[in-house]
């Protein structure tokens, strides 16, 4: 059977059949007088088998060698690829969760400026801004976290003393953070960083053109809420910078600052 007819019969493009034929996956004999390949039912079976293995992520070399592997070797290959696929599925689930978190931020910004939520355990490292000084371990952690977006987030910290001193400006630092559940799933070694505990928080949402230029006036609703609740912050104010976007022809940063309600 010639390649074009064979291609129609089995539903695989003739170009792919010729490619697999050159690799030696098909075994049909050549017709002496015109050098055409005479494909048969067994060639169809070999091609279907090769397509199946390739669909699981097997390389061409692995596909070729799998044609004659004993059962225990094939079983070992299945274990390997099952493990790899499980890792990919978990990775995509994590990415989907991060997208859902970002979507939730936009919905909150459109409906309310104060939310109540539960913040999971996380680790943060501050890389730029007021009072940031690097140890060698901090530098390594910053580099490691920067390699793991989108599971890393941008963290913002406002120095607690600057919240109550007389100066109108606030002392702001930024860096990178990651939830402990993502650290565990990615099997990252972030030893040496303090884990912030899980806590119920009151989150204040803001849009600003420059997080480093935040003033007390920008946080008026936060101060009003703290006064209403007779609360005084005994720790730095920490939150996230979600991402930047254009609003009213201005580039703004959307951020959330969290007040721990468990204090």
Q: pLDDT of 167-219, one tens digit each?
A: 899 999 999 999 888 888 888 887 766 788 888 888 898 989 999 999 999 99
Within 13 Å and on the Cβ side, how many CA atoms surround 27?
8
Task: Kindly report, residue by residue over 110-154, the tens digit of the pLDDT.
Answer: 777 787 778 888 889 999 999 888 888 888 888 888 999 888 999
Q: Look at residue 73 in the predicted model and tell me its pLDDT.
A: 78
180 C-beta neighbours (distance < 10 Å), count: 16
Phi, psi torsion values for 72, nearest 5 degrees: -65, -35
How far apart, in Å, are the Cα atoms of 11 and each of 28, 54, 74, 192? 18, 16, 27, 57
Alpha helices, DSSP H, located in 154-241: 160-164, 180-186, 220-228
Of the candidates 204, 207, 186, 192, which has an alpha carbon nearest to the alpha carbon of residue 254? 207
Domains of the chain, earliest start first: 3-68 (1.10.1660.10), 102-260 (3.20.80)
Phi, psi torsion values for 203, nearest 5 degrees: -105, 130
């Amino acid at each position: 059977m010639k390649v074009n007819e064979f291609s129609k019969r089995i539903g695989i493009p003739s170009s792919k059949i010729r490619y697999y034929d050159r690799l030696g996956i098909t075994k049909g004999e050549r017709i002496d007088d015109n050098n055409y390949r005479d494909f048969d039912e067994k060639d169809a079976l070999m091609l279907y088998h090769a397509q199946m293995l390739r669909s699981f992520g097997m390389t061409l070399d692995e596909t070729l060698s799998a044609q004659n592997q004993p059962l225990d070797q094939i079983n070992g290959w299945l274990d390997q690829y099952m493990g790899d696929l499980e890792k990919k599925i978990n990775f995509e689930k994590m990415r989907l969760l991060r997208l859902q978190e970002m979507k939730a931020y936009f919905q909150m910004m459109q409906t309310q400026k104060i939310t109540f939520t539960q913040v999971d355990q996380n680790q943060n490292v501050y890389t730029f801004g007021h009072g940031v000084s690097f140890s060698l371990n901090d530098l390594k952690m910053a580099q490691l976290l920067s390699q793991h977006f989108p599971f890393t987030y941008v963290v913002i910290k406002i120095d607690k003393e600057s919240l109550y001193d007389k100066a109108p400006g606030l002392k702001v630092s930024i860096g990178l953070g990651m939830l402990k559940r993502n650290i565990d799933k990615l099997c990252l070694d972030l030893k040496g960083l303090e884990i912030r505990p899980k806590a119920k928080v009151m989150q204040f949402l803001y849009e600003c053109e420059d997080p480093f230029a935040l003033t007390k006036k920008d946080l008026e609703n936060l101060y009003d809420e703290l006064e209403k609740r007779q609360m005084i912050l005994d720790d730095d104010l920490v939150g996230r910078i979600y991402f930047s976007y254009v609003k009213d022809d201005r580039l703004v940063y959307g951020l959330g600052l969290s007040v721990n309600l468990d204090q």
